[in-house]
């Protein structure tokens, strides 16, 4: 699996064409749905053995976890891929559709000649001081381009892994999402190369001639001007450009049209500039964090992160129109130089039908936008409990985000 030359199927050495396929199976017979999805995903490969197969199983509300395990095992058995990973999910994405809360299986398959695929299988153990130590992360080689990661949020400290990778391998992108099966702790399953796992994290590191790019759409549009933080305390934003932070926020929201003010009250966020030295800050230059409220006594804004004096921030609004525009613009930028051939989509389980009205696609929205922007290439993925992807050259765990791994 680590040998790039092994990516060409037997008998067709030197084949350089990449092939991608996606499939979707829906219905209470999850094993049958798995068989349908695998058949659809493998069809465009024209009989070639897949180098990589990624899949997601939604057991549905109140679904049988054992049936989900059997469906995942069936996917891995039928696919016979060189590398195979998957996870349980709140909902799945494939065949141009998003299916939420209903029993379903999504499968994505690819032949990747010249690409080295290193399996990732991570565990977290008690370090004895109240923290968890992480074991199993392979070291990216000089030719490594990216890694895809699927993790159980209840048994694996994703934030700790991201911090470690940002420190030890700056600029190396991790893309993926957190398993999201209904039921909470103990109800997720991960799948890796024929095994069913109760927790941890799995994935694939891409090396050799891998050509994969990360696109992270945080789904927000800015309101008001960029401002420098002049006073802060933990996650309290106290001063912006020399004025009380909450006062500045009220001025910015008050200057919006009435309809925009309502949107701001429902979906207000703050963007933190990732490069303080940039002459200008565009949409993709901010890390989005939630505004949790206002502390009236101190005229402070409460945010979902710890900020520092000197950082540049800009208030943001998240709504369906802004989310679509942001995703479309970022995908267009990504494929301007090189067209895409396939993509994996990790969309927040707070998007889908919860964010997008039926007339703009509902649960199908994000996959429709990705397929339209990438010229109808095979796309599959899932609705995650948190999305992993780089912003400003550092990997982060996001919410309400669409994180896409685009393959040339």
From CA 190, how far away is CA 198, in angstroms rounded? 6
Report pLDDT for 258: 86
Q: Does residue 3 carry a pLDDT above 50?
A: no
Give the pair of three-digit tokens for residue 61.
């509300």
- Which of 335, 274, 268, 273 has the alpha carbon at shortest distance from 304? 268
Task: List pLDDT tens digits, range 97-120.
Answer: 999 999 999 999 999 998 999 999
What is the band of 6 on the pLDDT scale with cuts at 50, 70, 90?
A: very low
Report pLDDT for 231: 95
From CA 374, how far away is CA 213, in angstroms rounded? 13
The mean per-residue pLDDT over the stretch 8-32 comes to: 75
The whole-chain average pLDDT of the chain stands at 89
Q: Which residues pair with 294 in a beta bridge?
A: 301
Report pLDDT for 7: 37
Q: Which residues pair with 192 in a beta bridge?
A: 85, 195
Q: Are 120 and 205 in contact (CB under 8 A)?
A: yes
Backbone torsions φ then ψ of 327, nearest 5 degrees: -65, -45
Give the pair of three-digit tokens for residue 56.
């997601």
Q: Does residue 279 carry a pLDDT above 60?
A: no
Report pLDDT for 84: 97
Task: List pLDDT tens digits, range 288-346.
Answer: 888 898 999 999 999 988 899 999 999 988 888 888 988 999 999 888 878 999 999 99
Q: Does residue 13 carry a pLDDT above 80?
A: no
From CA 316, how far away is CA 318, in angstroms rounded? 7
Domain boundaries, the chain: 4-211+338-407, 221-317
Report pLDDT for 187: 93
246 vs 13 pLDDT, higher one: 246
Report pLDDT for 9: 35
């Amino acid at each position: 699996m680590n040998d790039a030359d092994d990516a060409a199927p037997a008998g067709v050495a030197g084949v350089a064409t990449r092939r991608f396929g996606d499939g979707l199976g829906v219905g209470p017979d999850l094993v049958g749905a798995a068989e349908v999805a695998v058949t659809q995903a493998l069809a465009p490969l024209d009989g070639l053995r897949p180098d990589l197969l990624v899949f997601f199983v939604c057991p549905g509300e109140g679904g049988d976890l054992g049936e989900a395990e059997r469906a995942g095992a069936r996917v891995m058995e039928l696919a016979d891929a060189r590398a195979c990973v998957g996870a349980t999910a709140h909902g799945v994405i494939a065949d141009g559709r998003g299916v939420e809360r209903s029993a379903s299986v999504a499968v994505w398959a690819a032949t990747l000649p010249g690409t080295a695929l290193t399996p990732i299988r991570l565990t977290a153990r008690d370090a004895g001081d109240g923290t968890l130590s992480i074991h199993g992360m392979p070291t990216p080689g000089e030719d490594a381009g990216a890694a895809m990661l699927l993790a159980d949020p209840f048994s694996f400290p994703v934030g700790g892994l991201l911090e470690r990778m940002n420190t030890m391998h700056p600029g190396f992108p991790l893309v993926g999402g957190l398993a999201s099966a209904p039921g909470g702790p103990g109800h997720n399953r991960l799948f890796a190369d024929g095994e069913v796992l109760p927790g941890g994290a799995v994935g694939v590191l891409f090396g050799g001639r891998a050509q994969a790019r990360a696109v992270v759409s945080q789904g927000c549009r800015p309101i008001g001007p960029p401002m420098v933080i002049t006073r802060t305390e933990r996650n309290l934003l106290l001063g912006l450009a020399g004025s009380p932070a909450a006062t500045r926020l009220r001025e910015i929201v008050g200057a919006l049209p009435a309809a925009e003010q309502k949107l701001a009250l429902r979906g207000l966020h703050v963007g933190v500039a990732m490069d303080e030295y940039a002459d200008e800050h565009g949409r993709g230059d901010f890390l989005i964090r939630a505004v949790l409220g206002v502390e009236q006594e101190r005229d402070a804004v409460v945010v979902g992160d710890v900020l520092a004096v000197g950082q540049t921030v800009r208030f943001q609004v998240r709504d369906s129109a802004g989310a679509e525009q942001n995703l479309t613009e970022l995908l267009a930028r990504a494929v301007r130089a090189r067209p895409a051939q396939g993509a994996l989509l990790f969309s927040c389980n707070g998007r889908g039908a919860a964010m997008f009205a039926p007339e703009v696609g509902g649960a199908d929205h994000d996959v429709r936008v990705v397929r339209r922007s990438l010229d109808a290439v095979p796309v599959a993925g899932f609705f995650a409990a948190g999305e992993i992807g780089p912003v400003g050259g550092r990997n982060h765990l996001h919410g309400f985000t669409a994180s896409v791994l685009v393959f040339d």
